[in-house]
Amino acid sequence: MAGACILPAGKAGIVPGLADSKLLTEKARERVYARVVRRAVAWSVVVIDSEECDRLGMHVANVEALRRAVALLDERPSYVLTDGFPVDGLEVPGLAVWKGDRVAACIAAASVLAKVTRDRMMVELDATYPVYDFKTHKGYITDVHSLALDEHGPSPVHRMRFVNVRRAAGLEPPLDVQNEQHDASSYEKE
């Protein structure tokens, strides 16, 4: 999931309550989301599905999502700020900003748009796959989610790149076997 946002210049671009999406409560993110959508000159959110994430790898999928989000903007930006890492292929100049969602309003706005969209999507997925409790953890690992993965295996929307998902699918040895293998290989080397 990636967002892109162009805010208007000056006071019109100041969004009350805007901050890094990870620092806002769910209710605050929803309020800020509505404010960003109202004020933005242009905005977009792109979803890269789990199969494409697995095929590309997470970093490449993230970069591709950012590229697509910028390409979908109704207005072409003259300059692009990205959060943390550079994104080539944007057809306009850009700058990667370390912890950009904490220092640049357009990046913080894009992070809120993406996070709220993702959270809403996870709630919808919960209706289809209720055993995984997506509506509660929204894609972050929890004990309840881990137990559901172990008991039911991964759903079609899980990303197989993650070791806990591969383990639940039987593509990785269980932790106790990995630990035994590690202990045995350590013993053999000594």
pLDDT surpassing 90 at residue 157: yes
Contact indicator for 37, 76 with CB cutoff of 8 Å: no
76-80, 136-140, 149-153: which has the highest mean pLDDT?
76-80
Give the single-character DSSP code of 20: -
Q: Band of the pLDDT at 188, cuts 50, 70, 90?
A: very low
Task: Kindly state the percentage of the chain with pLDDT values over 70.
Answer: 92
Tokens of 165: 């998902």
- Written as six digits, the tokens of 30 are 């929803």
What pLDDT score was predicted for residue 16?
97
CATH architecture, range 2-118: 2-Layer Sandwich (3.30)
How, if at all, do strands 80-83 and 94-97 pair? parallel
Distance (Å, whole) CA 146 – CA 132: 9
Instruction: List beta partners, residue 97.
Output: 83
Q: pLDDT, tens digit, for every residue of 103-121?
A: 999 999 999 999 999 999 9
Average predicted confidence (pLDDT) for the chain: 90
Domain ranges of the chain: 2-118, 129-190
Q: For residues 80 and 90, is the Cβ–Cβ distance under 8 A?
A: yes
What is the tens place of the pLDDT at every residue in 39-92? 999 999 999 999 999 999 999 999 999 999 999 999 999 999 999 999 999 989
| Cβ proximity of 183 and 177 under 8 Å | no
